[in-house]
Homo-oligomer: A and B are copies of this chain.
Amino acid sequence: MTERLVVIGGDAAGMSAAAVVKRQAADALEVVVLERGHHVSYSACGIPYWVSGDVEGPDRLVARTAAEHRRNGIDVRMRTEATSIDLSAATVEARDVDSGSRVQLGYDSLMIATGAVPRRPDLPGIDAAGVHGVQTLDDGERLLHRIESEQPRTAVVVGGGYIGLEMAEACLRRGLSVSLVDMADEPMTTLDPPVGALVREAMQDIGVDVRTGIAVSGLEVDARAHVCAVATDDGVLSADLVILALGVQPLTELASAAGLPTGLSGGLRTDATMRVDGSSQVFAAGDCVESWDRVSESWLHVPLGTHANKQGRVAGLNIAGRHATFPGVVRTAVTKVCDLEIGRTGLREADARRLGFDVVGVTIETTTKAGYFPGTQPMTVTMMADRATRRLLGAQIVGREGSAKRIDTCAMALWSQLTVDELMMSDLAYAPPFSSVWDPVQVAARAAVAELG
| Count of chain copies | 2
A411 touches B431 (CB 8 A): no
Residues in B neighbouring A267, C-beta threshold 8 A: none
The CA-CA distance from A232 to B124 in the complex, in Å, is 83
Contact among B331, B405, B426, B437 for A427, CB-based, below 8 A: B331
| A37 CB to nearest chain B CB (Å) | 19
**Distance to closest chain B CB from A44 (angstroms):** 10
Chain B residue, CB-CB nearest to A162: B431
| CB atoms of B429 and A333 under 8 A apart | yes
> Which single member of B12, B54, B426, B429 contacts A405 (CB below 8 Å)?
B429
**Which of A88-96, A151-159, A211-219, A369-377 lies at the interface?**
A369-377
Alpha-carbon distance A336/B431, docked complex (angstroms): 9
Q: How far is the CA of A305 from the CA of B439 in the complex (A)?
A: 11
**Complex CA–CA separation, A432 to B332 (angstroms):** 14
Smallest distance from the beta carbon of A369 to chain B beta carbons, Å?
10
A-B pairs with beta carbons under 8 Å apart, 15 shown = A45-B432, A49-B373, A54-B374, A306-B437, A309-B438, A329-B427, A330-B426, A334-B435, A335-B431, A341-B434, A343-B429, A407-B429, A408-B409, A411-B429, A415-B422
Answer whether residue A310 sits at the interface, using C-beta atoms and an 8 A cutoff: yes
Do A327 and B425 form a contact, CB below 8 Å, given A61-B372, A431-B336? yes
B-contacting residues of A (Cβ < 8 Å)? 12, 43, 45-46, 49, 54-56, 60-61, 162, 304-307, 309-310, 326-336, 341, 343, 345, 370, 372-374, 402, 404-409, 411-413, 415-416, 418, 422, 424-435, 437-439
Instruction: Choose among B12, B329, B408 the residue that contacts A408 (Cβ–Cβ < 8 A).
Output: B408
Query: Chain B residues with Cβ under 8 A from A307's Cβ?
Result: 427
Contacts of A54 in B (CB 8 A): 373-374
**C-alpha spacing A43/B437, complex, angstroms:** 8
User: B46 near A370 (CB under 8 angstroms)?
Assistant: yes
Complexed CA–CA distance, A187 and B443 (Å): 33
Quick check: B332 and A427 within 8 Å, CB to CB? yes
Chain B residues closer than 8 Å to A333, beta-carbon distance: 429-431
